[in-house]
Amino acid sequence: MNNSFFKLPTTFLKFLYIFLINIVIVSTYSCRKQNAEWESDWAVPLIKTEIHLTDLLPSDNLSNDTLGLHRIVYRTSLYNIAVDSLFVIPDTIRTRTFTIDSLSLYDATTIFPISLGEICRQAGILGLLIISNQGNTVPVGPIPAFNTPPFEISADTLFTSMTLEEGTMELGFKNELPIDITDVKFELKNRSDNSIIVSGTFPIIKSNESVKQEFSLAGKTVEGKLNAQIVSFASPGSNGVPVLIDTANAIVAELRVFNLRPFTATAIWPSQNLVNQKQDFNIRGLDVLLKEALVKSGVIRFRMKSSIPDSVRFMYTLPAAIKDGKSFEINTVLPPANPGEFSEFVRDYDFTGYRLDMSGQNKDTFNAAFNTYLVRIDSSGVMKTFSKSDLFILELGFVGIRPSYARGYLFTDTFLISNNTTELDVFQEFEGKLNFDDAWLELNLENNIGADATLFITQFNSYR
């Protein structure tokens, strides 16, 4: 290898020598302590970052389309048309006055036997002859007409007096005598004034047979203390045939009264319904025809008055109104009314949440709710005076009823929506300005009413 290849030119060596000396001099002076001063006026970015729409809005409000464009989906209500905005169910209060449909009293039966011995004591010499043959078998001759003393009938443990709109008395005779009896005439009288209630005749009652007749008591005033009497009767005797004489044998009279419907009575009343009605409650003034409604709010108002001088049980049902599987009902007791006055019950019942069938009892109409009224008394065992002139007054009303759902015929209507402003809070967490290169607004409308609707937008503005 040639060593001359590594020899440096003399000029280069001189230059290198001078450079090294200058480095030493500069280093020496730079080690001296001096006050450092400088000025700066730079305009350079200190922080650089990126903000995306996903940082400003929840992901539920954003979506991208196939073109890479962002869609901000924001849902709010610009205007709500609820069912109760389409129509109003007017407050409907009805007053019904009920007279008592019927007053019924206990059926009563009285039996009074008239023995052969008693008959013979009224029949003079022939009667004594019959009695003298007690236990013997002998022919009995004809017995001429004669009467029996009155028999007292006391029903005053059940009633003291009643004036009847309806009623039936059944009178029967059973002939236990060994001979026929004929031309049996009887009377039933009030004991106080001897006024006749009913009277009648049985032409013939054969031996060992029974007969009955019914008599109307309509329009009659019957007292609790009565007299019954066989006014007259006769007998053809045994027609020469020997018969056994037993003075214990009798003519047995049976008096039964039933189906008593008084206009008024002072009595111990049995348990009974005074008013029992089933009918539709018609809601008038509606501009629509409704088959059904779900009640959002409102009350049923009741005011009941009774002139009846006894405790009255009132039962009201609205089978057309259902909530939690049960129909609406009221069961309450009104106290006895003082003479010439009314007892009263007043209350509002919350009707929220009830589904109301408004198609009527037969499901063939509109705006009608089927309901029932029952007014009842329970037997107290105490004598009370009732009258069909007694009143039961019911005030029933639907007040403040607002539906959340309705089914029926709404017809056609127009609603004007004006000057309605809605604030959009989609960017409520963002402060400052947000500029878009390009943007569109898409407005979607939802109709959840269940009926067709046409919407005309005449003006749509935005403000900032």
CA 108 to chain centre: 38
Cα atoms found within 13 Å of the Cα of residue 217, Cβ hemisphere only: 23
Q: Are residues 99 and 171 in the same domain?
A: no
Q: What is this structure's pTM?
A: 0.56
Find out whether 310 and 386 touch, Cβ atoms under 8 Å: yes
Which H or E run includes 84? helix 83-86
249 burial via Cβ count (<10 Å: 0-12, 13-18, 19+): buried
- The reply to whether 89 and 154 lie within a common domain is no
Same domain? For 115 and 99 the reply is no
What does the alpha-carbon distance between residue 158 and residue 268 come to, in Å, rounded to a whole number?
Answer: 5
Q: Bigger pLDDT: 135 or 30?
A: 135
Tens digit of pLDDT for each residue in 173-224? 999 999 999 999 999 999 999 999 999 999 999 999 999 999 999 999 999 9
Q: Three-class SS of residue 414?
A: coil
Q: Which two tokens mark 238?
A: 């045994």
Buried b (16+ CB within 10 A) or exposed e, 322-355: eeeeeebebeeebebbeeeeebebeeeeebeebe
Quickly state the pLDDT bin for 299 (edges 50, 70, 90): very high
- What lies within 8 Å, CB to CB, of 166 at 6+ separation is 217, 218, 259, 260, 261
The H-or-E segment that residue 332 falls in is strand 326-334
Average pLDDT score over the chain? 81
Alpha-carbon distance of 452 to 222, in angstroms, equals 70
Closest CA to 144 of 181, 176, 90: 181
- The CA distances from residue 9 to 16, 138, 338, in Å, are 11, 196, 148
Q: Between residues 375 and 439, which one has the greater pLDDT? A: 375
* pLDDT in the model for residue 148: 80
Model confidence at 288, in pLDDT bands (50, 70, 90)?
A: confident
The dihedrals phi and psi of 252, each to the nearest 5 degrees, come to -100, 115
Q: Does residue 348 sit in the same domain as residue 415? A: yes
pLDDT surpasses 50 at 2: no
pLDDT at 3 over 50: no
pLDDT score for 149: 82
Q: Which of 262, 292, 323 is the last residue of a domain?
A: 262
81-106 pLDDT, tens per residue?
666 566 778 888 888 887 776 778 87
Nearest one of 390, 312, 300 to 347, comparing CA atoms: 300
Can you tell me the distance from the alpha carbon of 63 to that of 448, in angstroms, rounded to the nearest whole number? 25
pLDDT score of 197: 94
The CA distance from 252 to 211, in Å, is 11
Look at residues 205, 199, 209 and name the one whose alpha carbon lies nearest to residue 235.
205
Phi, psi of 56 (to 5 degrees): -100, -30
Domain final residue, candidates 209, 238, 262: 262
Q: Give backbone dihedrals phi and psi of 28, rounded to 5 degrees, phi first.
A: -65, -45
Please check whether residue 20 lies inside any domain of the structure.
no
Same domain, 281 and 408: yes
Q: What are 336-366's pLDDT values in tens digits? A: 999 889 999 999 999 999 999 999 999 999 9
Q: Domain boundary at 262, 285, 319, which?
A: 262
Share of the chain above pLDDT 90, in %: 34
Question: Is the domain of 174 the same as that of 286?
Answer: no
pLDDT above 60 (res 296)? yes
306 and 420 housed in the same domain: yes
Residue 76 in this model has a pLDDT that exceeds 90? no
Q: What is the pLDDT of residue 6?
A: 43
Query: How many Å apart are CA 346 and CA 348, to the nearest integer?
Result: 7
Instruction: Judge whether 246 lies within some domain.
Output: yes
Q: What is the CATH number of the domain that holds 96?
A: 2.60.120
What pLDDT is attached to residue 360? 92
Q: What is the pLDDT of residue 4?
A: 43
Identity at 447, one-letter amino acid code: N
Q: How far apart are CA 238 and CA 322, in angstroms?
A: 76
In percent, how much of the chain has pLDDT > 70?
Answer: 72
Domain match, 129 and 246 both: yes
Give the chain's domain count.
2
Q: What is the DSSP letter of 359?
A: B
Instruction: Compute the average pLDDT of residues 48-71.
Output: 64
Strand, helix or coil for residue 275: strand
pLDDT tens digits for 309-324? 889 999 999 999 999 9
> Is 119 part of any domain?
yes
- Judgement on whether residues 246 and 323 belong to the same structural domain of the protein: no
Tens digits of residue pLDDT in 6-39: 444 555 555 555 555 555 555 555 555 555 555 5
Residues 134 and 191 in one domain: yes
Q: How far is CA 360 from CA 298, 365, 367, in A?
A: 20, 6, 8
Verify that 215 and 87 share a domain, yes or no.
no
Token pair in block for residue 368: 């009608």
- Find the domain containing 354 and state its range: 81-103+269-464
Q: How far is CA 342 from CA 37, 101, 159, 305, 377, in A?
A: 109, 19, 24, 6, 16
Same domain, 340 and 225: no
Nearest by Cα to 227 from 124, 123, 147: 147
- Compute CA distances 227 → 6, 190, 195, 341, whole Å: 173, 6, 10, 37
In three-state secondary structure terms, 126 is helix
Residue 51 lies in a domain: no
Burial of 160 (C-beta count, 10 Å sphere; 0-12/13-18/19+) = middle
